[in-house]
Chains A and B, each alone.
Chain A
């Protein structure tokens, strides 16, 4: 790993290949244990040998801290809640640690904290511990937040995080428009003026996930954050590279992935690929083929899943790879994000 240079580059925080190298080559090497080694969205463990638990943590450094559709506080709560929820766990308790820059407005901090409380209450989680640190002006950028969370995981859902049950014939769903968060941040940063601004999709997904896991077999879930839908799909396809896994690839229909007109247009202008644009309220779920329509309907009846869609199928062909049917009917591969599309997106 890290053949080039001995310094951290922005790409190391992108959630793409460089991050992966850093995690496996450094953190995993020293924090070596079987729970971390699974590298899921949350660490899963047994409490006293009986109760299944999920634990997760995430830091938020988004720039700007206020953006259309939310602020750094909304991300700090929903991000960690979602990391727990996509493993199938029921998120219960969060902690929140703040690093504040000297001179930062208390009024703005209050706005952020109020938003966190509001979102947490809606999601049914409680923030039960915290920490506050202040650094000299210029030593951090306004406010950085770290949250951690725990949740309980039912036995019957414990397989979701590992995706062991994913097999050819399964269908792939997403709960709505892809790329909104990335464009909301970009729009704010570049002072783009829209007739109607694209709002960040930041939201807690535990309610929607509870709806679809209650009566259906969900084989795999992951929230598509940094690196976008493309990166999650690439990770899903990579499951087949594990020993004893089903040999399988993904076939995805580009035109089936919901993307807003505005998002498509802005990506066109900036040369970004909307499939790699960040989301903060999108889950990619894999379900058995015969249940796909029911799950889709269930998603669509939830406010956060109104624009849900079936976007692809798990197939036996091209194992380990995602083949995308392009909008013009051509075929190409879809891989993880390499390098950095937009730094400090969350």
Chain B
């Protein structure tokens, strides 16, 4: 496969692995922030190639994993109204809310549709003028521009039956919070796709304030291994900085057009993250200019206060404090078919990645 196999070349991988094995220093732990990295790391069996003194821990960069149960409950409550069509990315469908999930609601008759892009939601709205079409906006700087673009388009068309319920979040506050919570880390593998939009500049504080190496990594095995080596080199030389390994996609300044659109459509607000609690200015609410498409403001939604499932340690897993296998629910009552916690639901969740691909 052109442009992919090159990055999975066994010989290249072997050279990088040898370089990593040359590291003789004390035990280090690097956090891969992004769920896409978690998945790739497990899928290619990268942990089996690393020396004992280099460990990877999964971070909070799985959109579904950090989203509150309340958000799902909101969506379910609206879905139960006859005049609503709920549209969402596939990941969210199986997330358990406090007492149900969108998948179960669908089997009970709510009109819930999986979409690959916000443009599909818009066309569902155009095709169903008698219905209110809600898009569930989750994810970080990667998916937020798509929600923003949909809102801009809705305004352009005067589409008055399309709404967004936003749980969008931004990455840097969570990365800072994890360091502030004294989670033992020696560096970050920073998310490649987020950085495509934001640019690598957003991590300057992490390396500057906290003295932590940051490398923006791609998603192929050789990308990840090279990034690990770059982190080790920063530690060895003491030149702590933000480096971009994923240069074929990521620039220091990012996608300015997408950033501008996000600024117009969203406003920063305090937001709740599983495992980290409320982080100041870490969430993206919808701006006043787009208030009429903001489901939160337009519809009165009342849901019971939610409680995290008993025994579930997703919060600890997301911070990199606990490993999925340390959870008493893991593989006993919680598995990808019947997930209890969000980290088991998502393709990008650490628990599911480990359940599917983990070695002992």
Contacts and interface: CB of A to CB of B under 8 A. Distances in A.
A7 B109 CA distance: 11
Interface stretch (A111-119, A136-144, A332-340): A332-340
B119 to A, nearest CB: 15
A339 B93 CA distance: 12
Most chain B CB within 10 A, of A8, A21, A329, A332, is at: A332
A333 B104 contact: no
A329 B359 contact: no
Nearest to B333: A3
Interface residues of A, number: 33
A7 B104 CA distance: 7
B236 interface: no
A2 B43 CA distance: 28
Given A5-B107, A9-B107, A330-B48, A18 B337 contact: yes
B1 A327 contact: no
A268 interface: yes
Nearest to B106: A9
B29 to A, nearest CB: 19
A18 B101 CA distance: 16
A183 to B, nearest CB: 14
B338 A328 contact: no
A331 B337 contact: no
Contacts, number: 89
Given A5-B107, A16-B337, A17-B337, A331 B221 contact: no
A338 B48 contact: no
Interface in B164-185: none
A324 interface: yes
Interface in A63-92: none
Contacts of B94: 339
B281 interface: no
B297 interface: no
B43 A332 contact: yes
A265 B14 contact: no
B44 interface: yes
Given A330-B49, A333-B359, 11 more contacts: A4-B338, A8-B107, A261-B1, A271-B347, A327-B10, A328-B222, A329-B14, A331-B359, A332-B42, A332-B44, A332-B357
A325 B49 CA distance: 11
A264 B5 CA distance: 11
B316 interface: no
Given A4-B101, A7-B104, A332 B333 contact: no
Contacts of A331: 45, 48, 359
Interface residues of B, number: 36
Interface in A1-57: 2-5, 7-9, 11, 16-18, 21
Given A265-B1, A268-B1, A332-B357, A324 B337 contact: no
A90 B94 CA distance: 42
Interface of B: 1, 4, 8, 10, 13-14, 42-49, 94, 96, 100-101, 103-104, 107-108, 221-222, 333, 335-338, 347, 355-360
B337 A11 contact: yes
Nearest to A273: B43
A329 B8 CA distance: 10
A222 to B, nearest CB: 21
Nearest to A11: B337
A323 interface: yes
A268 B5 CA distance: 11
B238 to A, nearest CB: 31
A46 to B, nearest CB: 36
Contact of B104 (A9, A261, A264, A329): A9
A338 B44 contact: no
Contacts of A9: 103-104, 107
Contacts of B49: 328-330
A330 B337 contact: no
B89 to A, nearest CB: 11
Interface of A: 2-5, 7-9, 11, 16-18, 21, 261, 264-265, 268, 271, 273, 318, 323-333, 335, 338-339
A184 B48 CA distance: 34
B96 A4 contact: yes
Contacts of A265: 1, 4
Contacts of B356: 333, 335, 338
18 contacts: A2-B338, A16-B337, A265-B1, A273-B43, A318-B360, A324-B45, A327-B10, A328-B8, A328-B221, A328-B222, A329-B14, A330-B44, A330-B47, A330-B48, A331-B48, A332-B48, A332-B358, A338-B355
A255 B38 CA distance: 22
A332 B45 contact: yes
A24 B355 CA distance: 22
Interface of A is mostly: loop
B104 A339 contact: no
Nearest to A6: B104
Contacts of B100: 5
A317 to B, nearest CB: 11
A17 B335 contact: yes
A331 B358 CA distance: 9
Contact of B45 (A5, A326, A339): A326
A238 to B, nearest CB: 15
Contacts of B46: 328, 330
B359 to A, nearest CB: 6
Nearest to B13: A328
Nearest to B108: A7
B223 to A, nearest CB: 11
B331 to A, nearest CB: 10
B336 A338 contact: yes
Contacts of A2: 338
A329 B49 CA distance: 8
A252 to B, nearest CB: 12
Contacts of B101: 4-5
Q: Which 8 A-B pairs have the closest CB atoms?
A: A330-B45, A338-B336, A332-B45, A7-B107, A331-B48, A17-B337, A328-B13, A326-B45
A263 to B, nearest CB: 10
